[in-house]
Amino acid sequence: MNDSPGWATPGSSPSDGEGSPGTQPPAGGSGSDSKWSAEQPPPGQWSSPTPGHTPPNPQQPPAPQPGAGWGSYGTGPQNGGPNGWGAHTQAVKPGVIPLRPLGLGEILDGAVSTMRKHWRAVLPITLIVAVVVQLTSVLTQKYLFADLVVDASGSGTGKEELESFGSMIGVSALDGFIQLVGSIVATAMLTMIFSRAVLGHGSSIGAAWREARPQLLRLFGLTLLLGIGSAVLFGVLVLPGALAGQAALAILGGFAALGVILWLWIRFALASPALMLEQTTVRKALVRSSKLVKGSWWRIFGITLLTGIITTLLSALIVLPLTVMGALVFGGGLDGMADGTGATSWGYLISVGIGGVIALTITMPVQAGVTVLLYVDQRIRREALDLELARAAGIENYGTTTPPTGG
């Protein structure tokens, strides 16, 4: 066990159906949030609680208050979890989150706390990516979109309008590809920073890059696979009705496609941190995410949706005033925006770009952090990852306190 991201070797977790070397599988069923972990260290590094056993030089957790449970709140009996002897008490908190199952507020607070405590590593990454993305967007709109405006008067031929529309799609695809690459790099590096923040360890941009670089191509492949898979699924369910000229059938297929895509998207929501932190393959990361999300789909959906709403509103509060100011001051007002000249003026584009840089710099770490902490939370609930995290954080004898006896 060390303090490197991942905290466990790929494929050694109980959700993969394999125990680590020298361990026994859990006696209970699989997939339950309250089962004891099969992810235990090799013999000699950690001893499970046994009556009358006192480990050498123990560091006891805080004494429980009257009426409270015994120990910290985790997933196993040693932590007073659902199958333990007590209820929620103060948990060990070496980093930005306590080592127990997390609530919504704790996940959001952990993401924001990491930004605040480790801003020297977090903000430069997101700022650089945001500047590159917005600069590309500004130059694209200024020098390419300005020449690809479809003639609204109807004087152009259908072929010319089709070519212009195709060129516009190509430029948009190029712009989107650059944004995709930037977001993947930022997500990979931020994942490493958040993994260390959970342990209370700092990180640097160079260290985050070195740890993330080996998995970047796989993360890129994972992102493309999810995107292409969603597009193919949508086409399969919508095209039959569209080709048959049945609008109702096409609309019904569209709703069905959106539902299936949403379900799959949440089911694979934890694939990215699993890929990066467990140093695994794309296929294994998808399987890991599916098993970790199983039984908690609605909870993860709700937290992901709420995070998206919060970051969207925050972005709107930043971007919208600068967009309106740019349109009124530099874009010629409503007339300039209506005829398309204002939307390609330097003043307007720069105003919108500045707003986009600020918004991305702030919201990107929040979204990445929530995803990483959801992954950590699910592993604590299902695999008692708090034991591994405590050892990686240097907390000795965590979880070895003998439970109270008697009624």
Place of tokens 């056993």: 53
Handedness of CA 206, 208, 214, 219 (dihedral sign): negative
| Of 328, 322, 329, residue with least CA distance to 352 | 322
pLDDT value for 269: 96
- Pick from 137-151, 274-288, 320-334: least confident: 137-151
3 state SS of 217 = helix
CA 184/CA 132 separation, integer angstroms: 13
Residue 372 · residue 275 · CB < 8 Å: no
Angle at which helices 205-212 and 119-143 cross, to 10°: 70
Q: What is the pLDDT of residues 182-236, one digit of tens each?
A: 889 999 999 999 999 999 998 899 999 999 999 999 999 999 999 999 999 999 9
Answer yes or no: is pLDDT of 325 > 90: no
Per-residue pLDDT band for 271 (boundaries 50, 70, 90) equals very high
| Of 33, 41, 3, residue with least CA distance to 15 | 33
Residue 353 · residue 138 · CB < 8 Å: yes
Answer yes or no: is pLDDT of 175 > 90: no
Residue 342 · residue 330 · CB < 8 Å: yes
CA 373/CA 364 separation, integer angstroms: 14
- Work out the mean pLDDT of the chain and round it to a whole number: 76
Number of other residues whose CB lies within 10 A of the CB of residue 10: 17
Global confidence as pTM: 0.74
Answer yes or no: is pLDDT of 155 > 60: no
pLDDT value for 16: 47
In a 13 Å sphere around the CA of 324, the CA atoms on its Cβ side amount to 5
Write the burial class of residue 313 (CB in 10 Å: 0-12 exposed, 13-18 middle, 19+ buried): exposed
